Amino acid sequence: MKNRIDGAFKKEKKLLSIYFSAGHPNLNDTSYIIKKLELSKVDMIEIGLPFSDPIADGPTIQKSSSKALKNGMSTEILFKQIENIRKEIKIPLIVMGYLNPIMQYGIKKFCKKCEIVGIDGLIIPDLPVDVYNDEYKFLFEKHGLYNMFLITPQTSPERIRFIDKVSKGFIYMVSSASVTGAKSDFNKKQIDYFSRIKSMKLKTPVIVGFGISNFKTFKTATKYTNGAIIGSAFINYIEKNGIQKINNFIKDILNE
Amino acid sequence: MNYNIDKKGYYGNFGGAFIPEMLYPNVTELKKNYLKIISEKDFQKEFNDLLEKYVGRPTPLYFAKRLSKKYNAKIYLKREDLCHTGAHKINNTIGQILLAKKLGKNRIIAETGAGQHGVATATVCALMGIECIVYMGELDIKRQAPNVARMKMLGAKVIAAKSGSKTLKDATNEAIRDWINNPVDTHYIIGSVVGPHPYPDMVARFQSVISEEIKTQLKETEGRDYPDYLIACVGGGSNAAGLYYHYLNDFRVRIIAVEAAGKGIDSGESAATSALGKEGIIHGSKTLLMQTIDGQITEPYSISAGLDYPGVGPLHAHLYRSKRAEFISIPDQEAMDWGLTLSQMEGIIPAIETAHAFAILESKQFKPNDILIFNCSGRGDKDLETFINYFKL
């Protein structure tokens, strides 16, 4: 079977991907949020598997993760929630989580379960590329899963080429040297970095994340990339406005 | 079996560098340079000079007469408590600050639990005139006011870690996030043999001066350069790593690691990682750590803030798993009692962390000619308030 992530990049438009922490604001909001996002024409969803110690995340996602854990979120519950709605959802679903909970679930069992419930790929920030290649790649491929890697402004051109070579699905371009979090605009250094990456003409599509929060940042960032990911700004929105009005948030981003 | 780190940064199955891509350039820069820089002549000279004239090394290897008589063995104390700032921690911060300078860094960050590593870091930053930021759990800031004041006097900025449980684990998370946000000019001085490779090896090397000195000192007093037993407390495990370092592959020497049982291993309030932990990833390292069945890292507990860590350095995980070291855990009460015993039998008030190690004398049997070396890793000044409250002094 073809991976849905590849399908998402076949469209002409710039891709919008939304991240949220599974089990937040409430334990059983996961499927409702996924449905609403697809209805609002979001192209891809990253579902955060919460972790007690998310070292690459800023305050917003730390808070939503820890709230989700307090709500009783677990790997097993997340799989059940996704399994129940996968049939209705056509867009790619990606699980983003740290390595330790995945290791404890059992990496083989985890990959197998992802395939069964219809997960298309994974983003595991603390799983380094070399460890993935040596120990995990075989399993991921066996279960039709893509594993996406990150690049940052400090990543050397050689390493970007290497990551491009081993990547499937997309490359997650971190917009600045920072943890996750919403920002209102990009500076010149970031724009230079975006255009430097664009000029490398990588074979793998590039999506930018970290610091995308509104129509302006989405539009600017996607001038140089195939799409953008919004996390913290979305989580802040649903914290404040609830999950019923998700379509308003997306409309604003796409300026519809 | 070999107990040195391998080329990929592992001790057996443990170690490695499980870091987000954002930290890859920083960690790679360290990995590529640390061995080269440490072995350079001018680095060695400056490091040894500072250890001698600033830290006060070599620290004595003291024969504890009364203890030896009572427990019927030859008991020595390696007096790391006599180091400047009151514990072994400064051996590592001196090494890392010199390394940071060589790498051209002009901003230092550190995490601290009880504040000992924070003070040792603030001290060397003052010495070198480099900006210093120390992350400390909000709860620990309240519990360890004197050390917070010391860091401030030394010119460091103390930032409260308000995430999670607001203790050492979270202070470490915050320091890592700071490093992600400041990847170019900042060096992160980790305080123990934890974190991604090359930190566990680098910190162990800086602490290895402890066992290096013992070799010479013991030869002078006992005519042989190895003991029968080495005994140290283990939180993250840096004082223990320094004590064991030159004897790791000398199997005549038996190694004992003492963890904090807190209120008891099965009480739910403990920091005995070897007994309670499972293999996992914490702060960029694959090691043993205390966690839920779902892989969420759990809160440790010990009356001593320095042993209050849910993981253990990868070297120690390997020593435990391969049975090279015997791991013993000591509850709060026994450690506190030994705080008094050591004070009144040898006139040395130990840190509560250190007191844990001595408590094994109650249960463990030794032969009269056995040479035991305890790492007297820190002094008890910082724990006075805890002692006062506990013993109603």
AA identity, residue A67: K
- Which residues of A have a CB under 8 Å from any CB of B? 51-56, 58-59, 62, 66, 69, 74-75, 98-105, 125-128, 131, 149-152, 154-156, 159, 174, 177-179
User: B186 to chain A: which residues are within 8 Å by CB?
Assistant: none
pLDDT in tens, B92-115: 999 999 999 999 999 999 999 989
Residue B374 token pair: 């305890």
Q: What is the spatial distance between Cα B362 and Cα B358, in angstroms, rounded to a whole number?
A: 8
CB pairs under 8 A between A and B: 109
- Alpha helices, H only, chain B: 24-39, 41-50, 65-71, 89-102, 116-128, 138-143, 145-153, 168-181, 199-207, 209-222, 238-244, 273-276, 314-321, 332-346, 352-358, 384-391
CATH class held by domain B23-50+90-203: alpha beta
Cβ contact, residue pair B279, A128, below 8 Å: no
Q: What is the dihedral of CA B160, B163, B164, B167, to 10 degrees?
A: -10
Among A49, A52, A107, A151, the strongest candidate for a mutation testing the B interface, having the largest count of B CBs within 10 A, is A52
User: A128 to chain B: which residues are within 8 Å by CB?
Assistant: 17-19, 21, 24
For chain B, give the mean pLDDT: 96
User: A156 to chain B: which residues are within 8 Å by CB?
Assistant: 25
Give which of B205, B184, B179 is closest to B284, Cα–Cα.
B179
User: HEC profile for chain A?
Assistant: CCCHHHHHCCCCCCEEEEEEECCCCCHHHHHHHHHHHHHCCCCEEEEEECCCCCCCCCHHHHHHHHHHHHCCCCHHHHHHHHHHHHHHCCCCEEEEECHHHHHHHCHHHHHHHHHHHCCCEEECCCCCHHHHHHHHHHHHHHCCCEEEEEECCCCCHHHHHHHHHHCCCCEEEECCCCCCCCCCCCCHHHHHHHHHHHHCCCCCCEEEECCCCCHHHHHHHHHCCCEEEECHHHHHHHHHHCCCCHHHHHHHHHCC
pLDDT in tens, B228-241: 999 999 999 999 99
C-alpha R_g of chain A: 17
Reported as type and span, the H/E element at residue B135 is strand B131-137
DSSP secondary structure code for residue B203 in this structure = H
Residue B236 half-sphere exposure toward CB, CA atoms < 13 A: 27
DSSP secondary structure code for residue B172 in this structure = H
β-pairing, B74-78 with B61-63? antiparallel
CA distance B289 to chain A (A): 10
Distances from the Cα of A256 to the Cαs of A12, A63, A242, in angstroms?
A: 17, 30, 21
Give which of B223, B243, B212 is closest to B369, Cα–Cα.
B223
Q: What is the dihedral of CA A52, A55, A56, A61, to 10 degrees?
A: 30
Report the Cα A79 to chain-centroid distance in Å.
17
User: HEC profile for A60-89?
Assistant: HHHHHHHHHHHCCCCHHHHHHHHHHHHHHC
Q: Which residues contact A132 (CB under 8 A, 6 or more apart)?
A: A140, A147, A149
Query: Could you state, in order of their start, the residue ranges of all structural domains in chain A?
Result: 4-254
Which residue stretches of chain A have pLDDT < 50?
none
Query: Could you state, in order of their start, the residue ranges of all structural domains in chain B?
Result: 23-50+90-203, 56-86+208-391
Q: By CB neighbour count within 10 A (0-12 exposed, 13-18 middle, 19+ buried), where does B311 fall?
A: buried
Which residue stretches of chain B have pLDDT < 50?
none
Cis peptide before B314 (omega within 30 of 0): no
pLDDT in tens, B377-390: 999 999 999 999 99
Cis peptide before B227 (omega within 30 of 0): no
Q: What is the spatial distance between Cα B153 and Cα B131, in angstroms, rounded to a whole number?
A: 13
Q: Which residues pair with A201 in a beta bridge?
A: none
Architecture of domain B56-86+208-391 in this structure: 3-Layer(aba) Sandwich (3.40)
Q: What is the pLDDT of residue B163?
A: 83
Q: A141 catalytic, yes or no? A: no
Q: B208 catalytic, yes or no? A: no
Q: What is the spatial distance between Cα B93 and Cα B42, in angstroms, rounded to a whole number?
A: 17
CA distance B142 to chain A (A): 22
DSSP secondary structure code for residue B154 in this structure = T
- Given the residues B80, B111, B174, B259, select the one marked as catalytic: B111
Q: What is the spatial distance between Cα A6 and Cα A131, in angstroms, rounded to a whole number?
A: 24
SS3 B286: strand
Q: Are the CB atoms for B160 and B136 separated by under 8 Å?
A: yes
Q: Are the CB atoms for A44 and A17 separated by under 8 Å?
A: yes
Q: What is the spatial distance between Cα B393 and Cα B388, in angstroms, rounded to a whole number?
A: 5
CATH of A4-254, one of 3.30.499.10, 3.40.50.720, 3.20.20.70, 2.30.40.10: 3.20.20.70
AA identity, residue A237: Y
Q: Which residues contact A196 (CB under 8 A, 6 or more apart)?
A: none
Q: Are the CB atoms for B323 and B127 separated by under 8 Å?
A: no
The reply to whether ipTM tops 0.90 is yes
Q: What is the spatial distance between Cα B233 and Cα B353, in angstroms, rounded to a whole number?
A: 6
Q: Are the CB atoms for B134 and B110 separated by under 8 Å?
A: yes
